[in-house]
Amino acid sequence: MKYFIDNNLPEKLANAIREIVDGDYEVIHLKGKFPQHEADEVWIKILMEEGDSVIITQDGRIKNHEIWKDCGLTSIFLAKGYVHLPFYQKVGKIIGVWPSIVDKCENSRPGSVFTLQLNGKLI
């Protein structure tokens, strides 16, 4: 399974997670695969075709794209409070629950959508 960190989150977050998981999972910042300002519809379509991908984002607007409704991508949306957290707190919270994120994604049907709450719960 590939875990993609959206462009609205720092590339350093993807790098930190990748270092910690040490090859157990593929963790890729979107800009490592697509141009930084690639339209959401373009990268969503490509990841949909490739399959076996999870997107981690704090951009709730992508749910409004028509392609999103049928894309089948498993996704983790960060709760709104994450946008106001300093970088290290945001990274610490996400890394702290990484095993739960992986477990939830691997044991759910493709296309499942979760929200990562500030308290670390995935709902």
- Tell me how many domains the chain contains: 1
Asked if residue 98 is part of any domain, the answer here is: yes
Asked if residue 74 is part of any domain, the answer here is: yes
The runs of H, that is alpha helices, within the chain are 11-21, 40-50, 66-69, 87-96, 98-106
| CATH number of the domain residue 46 falls in | 3.40.50
pLDDT digits (tens, 9 = 90+) for 81-117: 999 999 999 999 999 999 999 999 999 999 999 999 9
Asked if residue 32 is part of any domain, the answer here is: yes
Asked if residue 57 is part of any domain, the answer here is: yes
The answer to whether 120 touches 97, Cβ cutoff 8 Å, is yes
Query: Which residue range(s) make up the domain with 36?
Result: 2-116
pLDDT digits (tens, 9 = 90+) for 35-85: 988 999 999 999 999 999 999 999 988 888 888 888 899 999 999 999 999
The answer to whether 83 touches 89, Cβ cutoff 8 Å, is no
Quick one: pLDDT at residue 121?
95
pLDDT at 22 over 80: no
Asked if residue 122 is part of any domain, the answer here is: no
